[in-house]
Amino acid sequence: MTLHTIIPMELVFQGFDSDPEPTHEVKVNGIKMEVVPLAPGMGRIVRLLDCSLNDYLNPELSPGCIIHYGSLNG
């Protein structure tokens, strides 16, 4: 792969060698998703795993959004 960019290599590969954040799979309102836990019952969405196609259009379920899953996870 060839990457043509004016961005310094240090910025392009920043964090490449670091360990990824631990994630958990949770189910909220019938939607299975992968989240990074931030606090008990709260996490940041990484990706949707099992949902309908219309759920991808919901801005509240986009990656990076904070979700409260508390006792709703399955």
Per residue in 36-71, pLDDT tens?
A: 999 999 999 999 999 999 999 999 999 999 999 875
Share of the chain above pLDDT 90, in %: 66
Report if pTM > 0.75.
Answer: no
Q: Give the chain's count of helices (H) and strands (E).
A: 1, 4
- Please give the structure tokens belonging to residue 58: 């919901």
Q: Is 48 helix (H, G, I), strand (E, B) or coil?
A: strand
What are the tokens at 4?
Answer: 């043509």
